[in-house]
């Protein structure tokens, strides 16, 4: 070891002072960053220090001119816009001032195609409009055609229609809950919702042959009778679904995160809702008890007892609750239909409208001719126009049908509930935060096939 040099001696000196700790550094208190709370502080300052008042520096006064606003484009390819919805959002910091929904990215020209297809083929076209509630599209269309033809379907057909449409309401609301949950962050809801939906879709596949876009409800009745053993399948759904929905309630209903993200978000008042023609769960969540199944009943639905689910505040949470309650009410109707299903024909006996059974074609010449004419030319519908509306999971789904006496519709127009509900999106999103956009869109539950047709 070498002799300590002068440097090390100096270092030793410093070390001595440090180790000894006999001298404390100079302490000169300043007012900056003073955290003490003294008694004579004002209540406002106290609130600030306790964090009760958030001083956000991104809220501008009204004096900000429009040039300071930022236009943000959301979509059309976006994971949370429920299809190809494009939103142009004018932002002032985090607050949304104006929104413009731009639609048309899924426009399929279904109304033009509908004029090329015969009346019995029309169901295949119409069913793909609101693809989450295909039975409702078919029902509105079939009811319109039947009104023009002046025929009534037999009670069994009407009951089968009610059974299928109410189960469809359940499956559509399950998708709504699943996507709602996933958009807000409860990703497990996606898996749960689709798991239950598989059970209902399995029943649909057994009955109609397809999981989606069935073309089963046709003018004159339904395409085929229910499969044997359908009661067991429906009973299994009636046992399983309420249990699982209880699971969702355990997950979401009193969940503080869910409540914080959905309470008071995307509020629409009942006056605004009525002004803008909003129907369905967004309207009922504002407190207006309007349901077409009660007001203008169709297809024998007045024979079943159920209640209309109504909310209070018109926010995202209430729309979610209304949808869950509607699933319960629909299951009640399904149970009653299952118990009361009448026997009889599943379609009208009029040979000019419904094709004869396949076995008859070999036996009777007339049956063969009817079959031929129905499937090549189609049945002719007397001239007239009518508007029929059903209560789809999204709201009032109407079909305005004009016939001029030919085998094809002259004009078919669908009043799409999501089309009207989207008009209220700017109202629901005005002056809310950007982060609430996704929750609001999800709660309005638009189906772009319905919007753009």
Partner 1 sequence: MSEETTTAEEALLAEPARPLPENPVLRALFEGYETVGWESSLGQDVAHVPNESWAEFAHAVRGAGFEVCVDVTAVDWMRERPERFEIVANLLSMEHILRLRMTTTAGRIDPSVASLVPVWPGANFAEREAYDMFGVRFEGHPDLTRILMPDDWEGHPLRKDFGVGSVPVQFKESHQVT
Partner 2 sequence: MATTAPGNLMMTTVDRAARWARTRSMFPATFGLACCAIEMMATGAAHYDLARFGMEVFRASPRQADLMIVAGRVSQKMAPVLRQVYDQMPDPKWVISMGACASTGGMFNNYALVQGVDQVVPVDIYVPGCPPGPQSLLHGILTLHDKIMNGEINN
Please report how close the Cβ of residue 444 comes to partner 1 at its closest, in angstroms. Answer: 14
- Choosing from 41, 198, 275, 366, the residue that interacts with partner 1 (CB under 8 A) is 275
* Binding segment toward partner 2, per CB under 8 A, in 126-134, 254-262, 415-423, 434-442: 126-134
Interaction partner, residue 231 (partner 1, partner 2, none; CB < 5-8 Å by kind): none
Check residue 291 for interaction with partner 2 (CB under 8 A). Answer: no
- Choosing from 131, 194, 230, 387, the residue that interacts with partner 1 (CB under 8 A) is 387
Bridge-based pairing state of the strands 70-74 and 86-92: antiparallel
Check residue 451 for interaction with partner 2 (CB under 8 A). Answer: no
The tokens for 14 are 């410093």
Tell me, what DSSP letter sits at residue 301? Answer: G
Radius of gyration for the alpha carbons in the chain, expressed in angstroms and rounded: 31
The tokens for 371 are 């079959």
H helix intervals, 291-392: 292-295, 316-340, 358-363, 365-376
426 touches 99 (CB < 8 A):
yes
Please report how close the Cβ of residue 248 comes to partner 2 at its closest, in angstroms. Answer: 14
Please report how close the Cβ of residue 351 comes to partner 2 at its closest, in angstroms. Answer: 27
Query: Torsions phi, psi of 131, nearest 5?
Result: -75, -5
Neighbouring CB atoms inside 10 A of 392's CB total 30
Cis peptide before 368 (omega within 30 of 0): no
Q: CA nearest 108: which of 84, 132, 135?
A: 84
Q: What are the angstrom distances between the C-alpha of 107 and each of 85, 128, 196, 270?
A: 11, 12, 30, 30
Please report how close the Cβ of residue 215 comes to partner 2 at its closest, in angstroms. Answer: 10
Interaction partner, residue 336 (partner 1, partner 2, none; CB < 5-8 Å by kind): none
The CA distance from 411 to 68, in Å, is 47
Q: CA nearest 278: which of 252, 305, 311, 324?
A: 311
Please report how close the Cβ of residue 279 comes to partner 1 at its closest, in angstroms. Answer: 8
The CA distance from 317 to 449, in Å, is 25
Contacts of 276 (CB under 8 A, 6+ apart): 420, 423, 424, 427
Q: What are the angstrom distances between the C-alpha of 153 and each of 43, 158, 288?
A: 72, 6, 32
Q: Which is nearer to partner 1, 251 or 308 (CB)?
A: 308
Check residue 422 for interaction with partner 1 (CB under 8 A). Answer: yes
Interaction partner, residue 213 (partner 2, partner 1, none; CB < 5-8 Å by kind): partner 2
- Choosing from 48, 88, 113, 308, the residue that interacts with partner 2 (CB under 8 A) is 113
Interaction partner, residue 420 (partner 2, partner 1, none; CB < 5-8 Å by kind): partner 1
- Choosing from 16, 198, 349, 350, the residue that interacts with partner 2 (CB under 8 A) is 198
The CA distance from 56 to 34, in Å, is 21
Q: Which is nearer to partner 2, 105 or 230 (CB)?
A: 105
Interaction partner, residue 241 (partner 2, partner 1, none; CB < 5-8 Å by kind): none
Q: Which of residues 128-157 bind partner 1 (CB under 8 A)?
A: 147-148, 150
| Binding interface with partner 1 (CB under 8 A) | 103-104, 107, 109, 111-113, 116, 147-148, 150, 274-279, 288, 290, 295-296, 384-387, 389, 396, 398, 400, 402, 404, 410-411, 413, 415, 419-420, 422-423, 452-453
| Binding interface with partner 2 (CB under 8 A) | 76-79, 83-84, 104-110, 112-113, 124-125, 128, 131-132, 175, 190-191, 194-195, 197-198, 201, 211-213, 448-449, 452
């Amino acid at each position: 070891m070498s002799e300590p040099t002068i440097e090390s001696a100096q270092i030793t000196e410093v070390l001595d002072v440090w180790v000894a700790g006999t001298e404390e550094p100079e302490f000169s208190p300043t007012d900056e960053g003073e955290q003490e709370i003294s008694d004579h502080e004002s209540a406002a300052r106290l609130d600030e220090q306790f964090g009760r008042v958030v001083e956000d520096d991104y809220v501008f006064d009204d004096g900000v001119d429009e040039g300071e606003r930022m236009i943000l484009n959301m979509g059309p390819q976006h994971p949370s816009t429920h299809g190809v919805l494009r939103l142009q959002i004018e932002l002032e910091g985090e607050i949304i001032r104006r929104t413009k929904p731009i639609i048309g990215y899924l426009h399929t020209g279904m109304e033009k195609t509908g004029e090329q297809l015969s009346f019995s083929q029309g169901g295949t076209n119409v069913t793909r409009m609101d693809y989450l509630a295909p039975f409702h599209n078919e029902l509105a269309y079939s009811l319109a055609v039947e009104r023009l033809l002046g025929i009534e379907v037999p009670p069994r057909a009407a009951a089968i229609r009610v059974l299928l449409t109410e189960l469809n309401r359940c499956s559509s609301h399950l998708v709504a809950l699943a996507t709602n949950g996933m958009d807000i962050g409860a990703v497990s809801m996606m898996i749960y919702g689709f798991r239950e939906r598989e059970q209902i879709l399995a029943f649909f596949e057994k009955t109609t042959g397809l999981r989606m876009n069935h073309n089963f409800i046709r003018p004159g009745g339904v395409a085929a009778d229910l499969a044997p053993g359908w009661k067991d399948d429906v009973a299994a759904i009636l046992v399983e679904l309420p249990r699982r929905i209880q699971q969702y309630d355990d997950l979401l209903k009193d969940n503080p995160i869910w409540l914080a993200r959905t309470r008071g978000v995307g509020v629409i008042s009942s006056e605004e809702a009525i002004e803008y023609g909003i129907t369905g769960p967004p309207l009922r969540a504002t407190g207006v008890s309007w349901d077409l199944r009660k007001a203008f009943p169709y297809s024998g639905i007045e024979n079943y007892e159920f209640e209309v689910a109504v909310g209070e505040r018109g926010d995202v949470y209430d729309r979610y609750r209304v949808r869950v309650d509607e699933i319960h009410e629909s299951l009640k109707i399904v149970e009653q239909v299952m118990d009361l299903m009448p026997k009889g024909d599943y379609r009208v006996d009029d040979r000019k409208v419904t094709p004869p059974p396949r076995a008859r074609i070999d036996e009777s010449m007339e049956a063969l001719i009817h079959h031929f004419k129905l499937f090549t030319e189609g049945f002719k519908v007397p001239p007239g126009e009518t508007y029929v509306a059903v209560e789809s999971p999204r709201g009032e789904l109407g079909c305005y049908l004009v016939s001029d006496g030919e085998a094809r519709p002259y004009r078919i127009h669908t009043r799409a509930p999501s089309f009207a509900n989207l008009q209220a999106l700017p109202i629901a999103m005005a002056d809310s935060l950007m982060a609430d956009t996704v929750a609001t869109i999800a709660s309005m539950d638009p189906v772009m096939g319905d919007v753009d047709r």
